[in-house]
Amino acid sequence: MAAAEEGVDLREEMADALKKSRALLCYECGKCTGICPVARFDRSFSPRSLLVKAVRGEDAALVDDVNVWSCLTCKLCDARCPAAIDYGLLTKTVRAFVHHEGGEGTCTHGGAVQALMRIMTTKELEQDRLSWVDDSIDVSKTGDTIYFVGCAPYFDVVFSETGAKTLDSAKGAIRLLNAAGVKPMLLPNERCCGHDLLWNGDVENFRMLARENLRMIEESGASRVVVSCPEGYATMKVDYPRVFGDLGFEVVHLTELLAEAIDGGSLTFAGNGETTVTFQDPCRLGRHMGIYDAPRAILSAMPGVTLVDMPHSRERAICCGVGGWMNCTSFSKMIQAARLREAKATGASTLVTACPKCEIHLKCALNDQTLKDEVQLEIADLWALAASRLG
């Protein structure tokens, strides 16, 4: 996306996105609004009306519209749209435009996460982000595989009150990699992948973060980057090449790598009690990247674990309620409560998530004691769970 580049007219960019996203083919059937998890609770929100505003070129209305930021960018409407419109691309471009024109969404957590990300654009930053690496995991200083940790060390601190342990997830991911025979490198000064800033419309800072990451990966000489966070994966796999062209390394999601290892028989799990689980498809992994089977293959490979899918699963999965740390409202809580009730109705005792944000958001929803008593669900991270059951 060249939105932030000098001399590039964002209006041209918008016109281009309208064409590329097939938005002009919309015949206003309203199915997007019908299926939208936000519109289900927030009657003022409608993906269709946003699209219509963009198509009509009502810039002023877009800049002032708080609903530009309410979209979860979960792409559920994409999956449903009979005209196959790419709402994801359209929303991304509209947000870049609105951001440039001075519109802003409401950042949750007082903008702490966004501030952190923008701070990371500083070139001279010497982070101390790997103090959690201990003897239980095997990492190497050189090699051809990098494990991209993502924001886990920071999320672990910022969201400690939700009970989410994102570092356990990162550690679990490395233990799984070790078990599959991979000794990954970690980048000591890795930056945020830029996903949230990109989806917040802040393309300029996204590019700075991406550039830093690409530079460090290139310097390390690695030929493969393994990512466990679906958002990091989608960003590096789709957005980095879109902005910077060929990356010169391969981006792999951990699920794919592990599913292969399980198929090849090099990765096995041991029994550790019977349990029934259900799986929350992260929107970035599922609808954005089309990976549905790999995480399920990992869950089914664990003896004693029975997987029951929710009615809304795979391409119909409902989002965890907040996208890009923006506009967390009471509607987000309603989406989360509905999702947790749905998970409970499957009879599962654990809801497995594969995205740190799903884990944080759903655990946060369980801070509501009434809901917690009602659903009595455990929320477990896929990597932490799988690592605890390694054979």
Question: How far apart are CB 4 and other proteins at their closest, in Å?
Answer: 8
Upper half-sphere CA count for residue 242 (Cβ side, 13 Å): 14
Total of chain residues touching other proteins, rule CB under 8 A: 38
Select 65 or 239, whichever has its Cβ closest to other proteins.
Answer: 65
- Among positive and negative, which fits the CA dihedral 162, 172, 170, 355? negative
One residue of 15, 35, 55, 61 binding other proteins per CB under 8 A: 61
Question: How far apart are CB 209 and other proteins at their closest, in Å?
Answer: 12
- The two tokens of residue 284 are 């970035």
Q: Does 62 bind other proteins (CB under 8 A)?
A: yes
Question: How far apart are CB 169 and other proteins at their closest, in Å?
Answer: 17
Q: Does 93 bind other proteins (CB under 8 A)?
A: no
x/- letters, 272..291, toward other proteins (CB under 8 A) = --------------------
- CA nearest neighbour of 5 among 171, 208, 216: 208
- CA nearest neighbour of 280 among 158, 385, 362: 362
From 153-161, 164-172, 173-181, 246-254, give the range in contact with other proteins by CB under 8 A.
153-161
Question: How far apart are CB 315 and other proteins at their closest, in Å?
Answer: 35
Q: Whole-angstrom Cα distance, residue 220 to residue 217?
A: 5
* H helical segments located in the chain: 10-20, 31-35, 37-41, 47-56, 59-64, 76-80, 87-100, 112-119, 152-158, 166-179, 195-199, 203-220, 230-234, 240-244, 254-264, 293-300, 330-345, 356-365, 369-375, 382-388
From 117-125, 141-149, 260-268, 281-289, give the range in contact with other proteins by CB under 8 A.
117-125
Select 106 or 266, whichever has its Cβ closest to other proteins.
Answer: 106
Question: How far apart are CB 113 and other proteins at their closest, in Å?
Answer: 8
Question: How far apart are CB 344 and other proteins at their closest, in Å?
Answer: 31
Q: Does 102 bind other proteins (CB under 8 A)?
A: yes
Angle between the N-to-C axes of helices 203-220 and 112-119, in degrees from 0 to 180, rounded to the nearest 10: 50
x/- letters, 179..208, toward other proteins (CB under 8 A) = -------------------------xx---
Q: Whole-angstrom Cα distance, residue 250 to residue 287?
A: 21
Question: How far apart are CB 205 and other proteins at their closest, in Å?
Answer: 7
Q: Alpha carbon of 287 to those of 39, 86, 155, 317, 318: distances in Å?
A: 19, 11, 24, 9, 11
Contact positions vs other proteins (CB under 8 A): 4, 6, 58-64, 101-104, 109-112, 115-116, 118-122, 124-129, 131, 153-154, 157-158, 160, 204-205
